[in-house]
Structure formats: structure tokens, C-alpha cells
Structure 1
Amino acid sequence: MTTSSLPLPDITLASTLFDTLRRDSFDGTGITRDSYGKGEQAAHDLIIRTARSLDLEVAVDGTRNLYVTLPGADRSAQCTMTGSHLDSVPAGGNYDGAAGVVAGMAVLAGWRAAGRTPPHDITVMGVRAEESTWFPYSYLGSKGAFGQIDRDAVLALQRSDTGRSLASHLADCGGDPATFGQAWLSPGRIARFVELHIEQGPVLIEAGLPVGVVTGIRGAIRYRDARALGTYAHSGAVPRRSRHDAVRAAALFIAAIDQDWEQLEHEGRDLVITFGKLSTNPAQHAFSKVAGEIDICMDIRSLDPQTLIEVDALLARRAAEIADLARVEFMLGERTGSAPAVMDPAIIAQLSKSAEAFGIPAMPMASGAGHDAAVFAQNGIPTGMIFVRNDRGSHNPEESMDLDDFALGARLLADALCPSGSALQER
């Protein structure tokens, strides 16, 4: 069987799933599918109902990740996996994460309708809690699937909106703390993992292309709770030379790092730096006061581990310099983050070749956002990613993925799940 004779994904089913997801998770402002909450659970329940209607196998692990499997002819062979997350940020968009799960379901539905059986198991994974905005932990669901989390520490995490522990929310979803975080997936049993996801930036839109083939996922260094501490003072009575102004210090620090970023980018480094939060204490600060404290968060990302190391050292050096200049104290706080993940060269080549064979305009590109595919790659599993063009950005209600673009990405996904030479059999 050639790649062109693979049954097409069921885009009608995909459209129905997207509509239902939107209806069930619109909160009046945007799409909210809260991790280990009602929104995420409703999405998981929808995929479970759909899977059972297609006579697919359904399983849920102790972390409450979902697995939908189309059994293969040789069930002892390594399986191929796809999927993504089903949670969203608060008031986010309908396609971030969900498009990957829906694409996998559309592929399996197309094969079921055509009466075909793959040579090995094909599993679609619905990952829990990819969005760390709810619980401050990167890749919680996918790391839990591989047994790579500190169970007690993670269960004690408090959700950002409710203040309740993850253990409490887990119970609401029918989970058992005793089995939470137990390994369900074994890297040696997985031949490859390929994730479809909307692009969350403007690269494909600006290039006028429907699809991207991801070369790697940027790693990150994050300081969520950095602070500059100065001294509160009267805004009119204290001259510049006598101030210990936390806001001025933060501005000087950000400007210095921005200049460093520009220089590193000029040198050809892959790097993005984002500052946020920038909040004074509302209980202390006032219009006529020099600010005595300010909170800052920093997110540094790169495909190059050495660049991350160098920028981390640069942050510490600039903080010390600005602290001395502005007569304040800088505290960067706890550092978190994730390592870069390189996609498998063979999968990149296959996806690019398939796109050319199908006449699908595509381009190689890095992923600036983190994805669960990184966890699979870091476990030694050959991993690939497909980006689908998405207008108006992401993590907002205006996400705008065209279903025709999605269909092209899903077709590439189908080919990656059953590569050339691996014939689907008649049932």
C-alpha cells in the first residue's frame, strides 16, 4: 500500500468534536477547560464517548491520562502514539491542545470506516494538565504517564484559581492518590510519538503556508517570583541620587536584558525572552510614593542548552549590576524550566517527504511553546510534531484554525502513524 492510498481522516467527525468542545467549555468570555476540573473532564468524557462509538479500546492511567487505541494486527509489536492535551488556559481558545487529540481521533475514525487494521496498535493520548497555569508544574500529565513525578509533592500543589490541592481535584475526577503518577507508558514499547498542534505564533500565517514540520521544542528557564526590593519614599521629596526605587530598577534590568537579547539574536542564537507580572504591592504603593518593591516574572526559551546556561548567568550578572546602580536588592527566586527537545530526524524527513508527495505546502520550524512531545523525546522515543496554521495567536478566545488546513495536517499525521511500507490490512 502506498501512502496516497491511506484512508482519509474523518474531518466531519473532527468538525463535530470541535463544535461540541466549544459548546461545552465556553465560559462567556473564552474557552476554559480547567486542569483536573469540570472543563477538562468534560473534554475527556467526550473523547471516551466517541471512542466507544467507534469500537475503540479505552484506558485511563493513575494520573487520569486517556488512551484510545485502534488494535493492530500484531499486538505484541511496538505501538505508535499521537495525541495532545485537552485542558486550556483560562478564557483561552478551542484548538490549543485539543486539535491534536481530535486529529488522532479523525485518523482512527477514517480507518475504522474503511475497514482497515494497522500492522500495530495506534493509540491517541489525551494528556492531563499540560497548561501549568492551573498547577505550577511543567508537563504534569505526560511526566506522570512515565512515572517521572514526585507524587506527594505534586498532589500537594494548589490550583491557582481554587487554592485546593491537586489531590482534592483528582478525587473529583475519579482518581486515586495511591495510583497517581505510577508509570503507565514504557519507552521501549513505543515506536514513535507524533503530535499535531496549532502553531501558537504568526510564522505560518506570515509565510502563507498551512503546515509546519517542527524541528525542535525550545527549552525554558523560568523565574516566576523574582523581586526587587527598595525603600518606600515620598515621590516629591526624595531626589534621584537618594532613591531606592524598585520600579526604576526593574525597568533598567529589563532594558539591559533586552539589549543583550538583541546582541545574541544578531549572533544567530535561537532565543526568546519575556518579562511579565511587574506588579507593585497595592497595599503599600500609592501615586505619590517611590515604589519599595516590585514582583517580576521571566521566561527564557531556546533550542540551544548552552544559550540557556549563558543567559541564566547573564540574568544574575545584570541583576547584581542593577542592584548596585539603583541601590536595591534583587532576588531572582526559584528557577524552574525544561530542557530543549530535538525532533527525530527520520520523522522530520518523512513528514517533509509526505508533504511534498501530497502537494501540501510546508516548512521546517522550531516550536517556541512547550508541548508534551518534549517529554516523549526526552525519554528516547522517536518524536515528531506537525504545526497547523492558526490566525490571531493562541491562549486567547480568538484562535482561528481553518478546517481545511487542519485536514492537511491530519493527512500528514495519518501517514506518519502508518509510514510507507506498513500496509493497513482489510478487516
Structure 2
Amino acid sequence: MTALKAKPADDRDVDLETARYLFETIAARTPDTQGVSRPAFSAVETDTLRFLEDFARDNGLEVWYDAGANANFALPGDRDAERFVVIGSHVDSVPYGGNFDGLAGVVAGLVCLLRAQRRGERFARPVHVLAMRGEESAWFGPCYIGSKALTGTLDAAELKALHKGDGRTLDNHMGDAGIAMEPVRGRQPLIDLSAIEAYLELHIEQGPLLIGKEIPAAVVSGIRGNFRHRRVRCIGEAGHSGAVPKAYRRDAVLAMADLLVRLDESWSTILNMGDDLVLTSGMVGTDPERHAMSKIPEEVSFSLDIRSQSPRTLDDMRRLLQAEMQQVEKDRKVRFELDEEMRVEPAMCDPELVEGLKAAMARVGQEPFVMPSGGGHDAAVFSAAGVPSAMVFVRNSNGSHNPQEAMELADFIAATDIVHEFLTRHE
């Protein structure tokens, strides 16, 4: 795609055309039987970055790859700036996912660069756009892999995580993507974090609030942290479904159900107290080779994803989980086994950046609106590493992590306007 030129009256149409071209072309290059699939640290993810590289070079932008094999873009002359603002997000997706989760943030950054280039403008601070690998947890279990590698916070247990398809380690897959793994294993930052003045991320909203409010975009106040277990095993004892009385049963499935009901009841109590919490068990199953309709299940495995904006609430839930498992073990004569815990701390967006984005939102003619983020994002990792961070949400129908994601391009441009205005006027 060659560089796009336009008269001022056509300026917005050019941005829409650019965004539509990028979204539609990448979707067509990464289809699955439903939606799109761009697995973390895969050839498909690499191809997506290479496509963005070619597009950016064709449009006169500077392009380079960092030590984490992420693609970076800047206006000519800004690559070597001593200090800069980063606009970042990820290009991977969940299996059978939507096209906008992650990718919208990368496209927004490119639209901002091309708009400034087209108008002959310079930003108040040099801007680098960062297209990252490996944010989604669906492929290996750990989340925010790319940003953790960049910030030197990816730990040994995460590197040992196994791919859901081929069973090879994350370490192996990252090496296959061309990343030198010794610094990653040594938890050394792969970029100079002190050079980043701010990290900004545009992302689709993954809930219904902006739809309900009938507004196209919002500034984000903070990001939920989480602790996760990809595989919890509940181990009981097999038996004949018709021959073992209730008092003698060690039913793993009913024990799991008992635990989840207890956690659900505590969830309601915590919400009634005014605290923030969400809890999900998205993967549940017995082994069909070992179990049958007429057999008491001896084992079931399930995942747990517990999130809150409050570190105290997460700590309380961790203790509650242990206490409830012990009680269910006693009551139902089973045993629970947890795999390695994965944890991300909650992150509050930088107050000065939030105020700056609110002011930019007003200057582009939108009523300022601030909301928390229910989902986790790479911005939380940069914030935890000491980089001032903030986010902008764009309205999106039908949630995320599914093929029905439905972001309107007009809403996307409205959210991008906020970011561009902030970059132009931020001092």
C-alpha cells in the first residue's frame, strides 16, 4: 500500500481508509474456522509483524525490531531519540478470536504517525509505536509474555510453560522466534525503560459499559490484577455409579462443584461489601478415556482466573481458596492439587497521564469519561516496571476473545483522535 495523501477536508477519510485496509488485510491473512487465530510466538504472528513492517516502510516510516522480536515504528528521525513516548499493544489473538483485541492499539499508533507525517507535524515528544508479541494467555498459560520479556519480569516458571498444542516450552517457542534467550532467562530488561517517558495503549473495551453509555471512547483509570491457575486437579476415587452410596463416595466432580459454589458465594459477599472482584473457571473437564457415564469420576481438572483492582482482595481470595479447598477435601474425602500460580499485580494508570488524556478528549469535542479496565493489559506490566502508563478504550460490541467483536471504525477514529491530540499537545 503506497503512502496516502489527502487534502485537509479528506483527512478523516484517509485515516478511516488506512485503518480499514490494515484491519481487513490482517484478518484475511490470519483466518481460522471462526474468527482469527494469531498464536503467540508463531509463524502467523511473525507474518503479521512482517506485513506491518512492509506497510510502514512503504509509507515512509522507520521500522526496527527490538531484542524481544517485537516490531517498532517511528517518524523519520525519531528512532534514536534519547527519550520518547510509546504507543503499544499486541498482535497475537486467542484461538477463534476477534480481529480487534490488541491489533486496534497497534493500528491506532500507526494512524497517529501517518496523520502527523501527512500534515507535516511533529509531536510534542518523539513517539515510538510498539507492536508486541505474546500478550494472550490462551497459548501457554502465562499472559503479557512480550511485555514481561521487555521489562525483565518473565520468570523461570513461565518460561517452562507448555504450549497447549505441541507441548513444547515457551522458552523453546521464543527462541524459535529469533529471541536470544539468555537475557530473558536472566530477567534482564530488553529495552532501556528509563528512556520511555510514557506508555499509552488504545484497546477495545471488553465489556458493555461504553455501549450502555452510548459514547465512543473513554480514558482508563486502572487495570485489574489477577492470579491464575491453568490446571487445578481434584482427585477422588472411581466407583460404580449405581453401587456406591453417597456416604462412601469420593466424587471429584461434585467436590469441584462444591468448591466453585463456595467461591461464587464469597464473590457475592465481596461485591456487597463494595470491593472489586471477578472469578472465572473457563476450562473444566474429565478424561473421556478414563471416565464414563456409569462411573464415579476419580479426577477432574479445571482452571481458575481471579481478578481485582485491589491487591488486598487478591490476597484475601488466595487465602480463601486454600481454606475452602481444605474444607472440601475434609468433607468429600478428595485432594486438590494446584499447578504453579501465575500472578499480575493491579495497576493504577498514571494520574497526570489520565488528566492529560481527559483534557485531550475535551479538546477533540468529546465529553471526558473515565472508567476502570476489567481485563488485564500490557500497560499493567509497564506500570509495574516504573513506566508512567495510561490507556484509552474504544467502544466495542459483543465483548472480546470471540469472532463477534464489533468495533465501528468511526469509534476507533474517535478514540485515536484522543491519543493523537494528547501526543501533539502533551508537554
TM over 0.5, yes or no?
Answer: yes
1:95 corresponds to which residue?
Answer: 100
CA deviation digits over 1:212-253, x for unaligned, max 9? Answer: 211111010112221211111111111111111111111111
> Does the 8 Å contact 1:211/1:361 carry over to 2?
no
Paired AA for residue 205 in structure 1:
I
> Does the 8 Å contact 2:85/2:125 carry over to 1?
yes
CA deviation digits over 1:326-379, x for unaligned, max 9? Answer: 121222332211100110111111222222332324532211211111111111
Distance change >3 Å, CA 74–CA 392, structure 1 → 2: closer
1:352 corresponds to which residue?
Answer: 358
Is 33-42 or 313-322 further displaced after alignment? 33-42
TM-score (ref. length: structure 1): 0.91
Aligned Cα root-mean-square deviation (Å)? 2.2
1:4 corresponds to which residue?
Answer: none
> Does the 8 Å contact 1:73/1:118 carry over to 2?
no
Q: Secondary structure at the match of 1:258?
A: helix
Partners of 2:320 and 2:358 in 1: how far apart?
37
1:230 aligns with 2:236: yes
Q: 2:398 aligns with which of 375, 392, 398?
A: 392
CA deviation digits over 1:109-139, x for unaligned, max 9? Answer: 0111111223432100001111122223221
1:298 aligns with 2:330: no
1:116 aligns with 2:111: no
Is 66-75 or 389-398 further displaced after alignment? 66-75
1:148 aligns with 2:126: no
Partners of 2:203 and 2:183 in 1: how far apart?
29
> Does the 8 Å contact 1:138/1:337 carry over to 2?
no
Distance change >3 Å, CA 233–CA 114, structure 1 → 2: same
> Does the 8 Å contact 2:31/2:37 carry over to 1?
yes
Is 15-24 or 67-76 further displaced after alignment? 67-76
Q: Secondary structure at the match of 1:32?
A: coil
> Does the 8 Å contact 1:68/1:124 carry over to 2?
yes
1:23 aligns with 2:28: yes
Count, aligned residues: 414
Structure 2 gaps of 5+ residues are: 1-10
Distance change >3 Å, CA 76–CA 230, structure 1 → 2: closer
> Does the 8 Å contact 2:398/2:405 carry over to 1?
yes
Residue 10 (structure 1) shift:
2.3
CA deviation digits over 1:1-54, x for unaligned, max 9? Answer: xxxxxx868232111101111111112322011112122112101211122122
Partners of 1:35 and 1:59 in 2: how far apart?
19
Paired AA for residue 288 in structure 1:
S
Residue 75 (structure 1) shift:
5.8
Partners of 2:281 and 2:84 in 1: how far apart?
41
Q: Secondary structure at the match of 1:138?
A: coil
1:251 corresponds to which residue?
Answer: 257
1:266 corresponds to which residue?
Answer: 272
2:8 corresponds to which residue?
Answer: none
Distance change >3 Å, CA 177–CA 264, structure 1 → 2: closer
Partners of 1:180 and 1:269 in 2: how far apart?
36
Partners of 2:251 and 2:317 in 1: how far apart?
25
1:409 aligns with 2:402: no
Partners of 1:298 and 1:395 in 2: how far apart?
17
1:278 corresponds to which residue?
Answer: 284
Distance change >3 Å, CA 331–CA 176, structure 1 → 2: closer
Is 189-198 or 53-62 further displaced after alignment? 53-62
Distance change >3 Å, CA 242–CA 307, structure 1 → 2: same
Distance change >3 Å, CA 153–CA 266, structure 1 → 2: closer
Is 262-271 or 341-350 further displaced after alignment? 341-350
> Does the 8 Å contact 2:124/2:425 carry over to 1?
no
Distance change >3 Å, CA 76–CA 20, structure 1 → 2: closer
> Does the 8 Å contact 1:211/1:408 carry over to 2?
yes
1:321 aligns with 2:333: no
Is 331-340 or 391-400 further displaced after alignment? 331-340
Q: Secondary structure at the match of 1:191?
A: strand
Percent sequence identity is 38
Structure 1 gaps of 5+ residues are: 1-6, 423-427
> Does the 8 Å contact 1:62/1:179 carry over to 2?
no
1:194 corresponds to which residue?
Answer: 200
Partners of 1:38 and 1:398 in 2: how far apart?
25
